């Protein structure tokens, strides 16, 4: 029964309250900080538990009054409200009981790369990136372009941006995968609809303590930065290419004029890629049931189709189709897709946890 699963949270919260008022703990800043953090982490579920238990008691009290001639009708009305409140509280509590993703509060590196479709894929990569920029603006996040490789007609062969803000990873972590576009390309003179694709990767920004890189694991090359067509954009060897020898991952950065800044930026991207690789390998080892869920980390999976002639956007993982592609792309209204995906993923976790 859910109530029995919740009672230990109230007990632990009371224990922490008593410990924090102890003189011994007050003199130990490190211990007090740890206990305060633990108490804060369970405060929401403690509050909801107390409200849930009070609601269950009110339901029992009103059921006892159903046969009362004077209070029976009032009790029936109250029960209707209380049963609805009980269900809503149970839904909220189940979400609070789910294990939190340690990466949810991190900033992210968003990487968009043109795939099949040539120039049209690069143009869509640019369009998709601009739409994510609008979404970031809507949520008050800051965006820093870290690396960019331009194509024709303002398209991007590849763009990597650092997105900083509350909940950036938690909101965008399910965007990784193949995004397919169906439309008449700007480069098409016959008016035929083409299908192209771009690949999106969402990687949490990591600190030095999260990933260790051996000194002999890296091959670092410096070179002259170049623009479109290979023309030199400055006269110093400021571009940096870092190769991680054990995995073969290569990161190139030439956006800054300083070799030092380009190297720092490239290292940050490399660490994010290595950490992301660890996450994907961990996911691959999990059960088939877990891998079938949204957010398995499979970058080869086609997750979404953007059909411009039909003004349709479809997320294939949850079977969601909306006929307002223009508004979503132009206004960055991704919550219309992201919210149902998060809800689906949470429902799967709740089912798996047996709540």
Terminal Cα distance for the chain, rounded:
9
**Residue 195: per-residue pLDDT:** 93
In the chain, what are the domains?
2-97 (1.20.58), 108-348 (3.30.70.1660)
Query: What is the CA angle 203-206-209, rounded to 5?
Result: 150
What confidence score (pLDDT) does residue 235 get?
46
Per-residue model confidence as pLDDT tens digits over 274-300: 888 887 777 666 544 444 444 444 556
Half-sphere exposure of 261 (CA within 13 A, CB side): 7
Mean pLDDT of successive 10-residue stretches along the chain, which has 355 residues: 87 92 86 90 93 94 90 92 94 86 88 91 95 94 90 87 92 94 84 92 81 83 62 59 88 78 85 84 58 48 93 95 94 88 87 76
What does the pLDDT read at residue 143?
Answer: 95
Q: How far apart are CA 252 and CA 239, in angstroms?
A: 7
pLDDT of amino acid 331: 81
User: 163 with 107: CB under 8 angstroms?
Assistant: yes
The tokens 């938690």 sit on which residue? 170
Give the pair of three-digit tokens for residue 223: 């070179």
**pTM to 2 decimals?**
0.73
* Ramachandran angles phi, psi of 313, nearest 5°: -125, 130
């Amino acid at each position: 029964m859910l109530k029995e699963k919740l009672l230990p949270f109230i007990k632990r919260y009371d224990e922490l309250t008593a410990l924090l008022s102890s003189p011994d703990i007050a003199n130990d800043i490190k211990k007090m900080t740890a206990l305060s953090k633990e108490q804060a982490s369970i405060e929401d579920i403690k509050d909801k538990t107390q409200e849930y238990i009070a609601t269950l008691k009110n339901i029992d009290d009103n059921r006892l009054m159903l046969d009362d001639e004077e209070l029976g009708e009032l009790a029936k009305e109250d029960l209707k409200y209380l049963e609805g409140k009980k269900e809503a509280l149970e839904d909220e509590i189940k979400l609070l009981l789910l294990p939190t993703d340690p990466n949810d509060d991190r900033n992210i590196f968003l990487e968009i790369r043109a795939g099949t479709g040539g120039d049209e894929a690069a143009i869509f990569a640019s369009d998709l990136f601009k739409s994510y920029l609008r979404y970031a603006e809507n949520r008050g996040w800051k965006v820093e372009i870290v690396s960019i490789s331009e194509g024709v007609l303002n398209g991007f062969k590849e763009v990597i941006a650092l997105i900083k803000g509350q909940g950036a990873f938690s909101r965008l972590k399910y965007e990784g995968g193949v995004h397919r576009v169906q439309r008449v390309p700007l480069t098409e003179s016959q008016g035929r609809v083409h299908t192209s694709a771009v690949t999106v990767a969402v990687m949490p920004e990591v600190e030095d303590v999260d990933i260790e890189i051996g000194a002999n694991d890296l091959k670092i090359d410096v070179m002259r930065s170049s623009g479109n067509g290979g023309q030199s954009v400055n006269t110093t060897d400021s571009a940096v290419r870092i190769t991680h020898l054990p995995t073969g991952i290569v990161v190139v950065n030439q956006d800054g004029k300083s070799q030092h800044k380009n190297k720092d930026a490239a290292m940050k991207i490399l660490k994010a890629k290595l950490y992301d690789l660890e996450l994907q390998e961990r996911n691959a080892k999990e059960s088939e049931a877990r891998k079938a869920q949204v957010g398995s980390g499979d970058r080869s999976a086609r997750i979404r189709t953007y059909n411009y002639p039909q003004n349709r956007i479809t997320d294939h993982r949850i079977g969601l189709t909306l006929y307002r592609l223009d508004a979503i792309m132009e206004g960055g209204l991704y919550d219309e897709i992201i919210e149902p995906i998060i809800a689906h993923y949470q429902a799967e976790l709740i089912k798996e946890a047996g709540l």
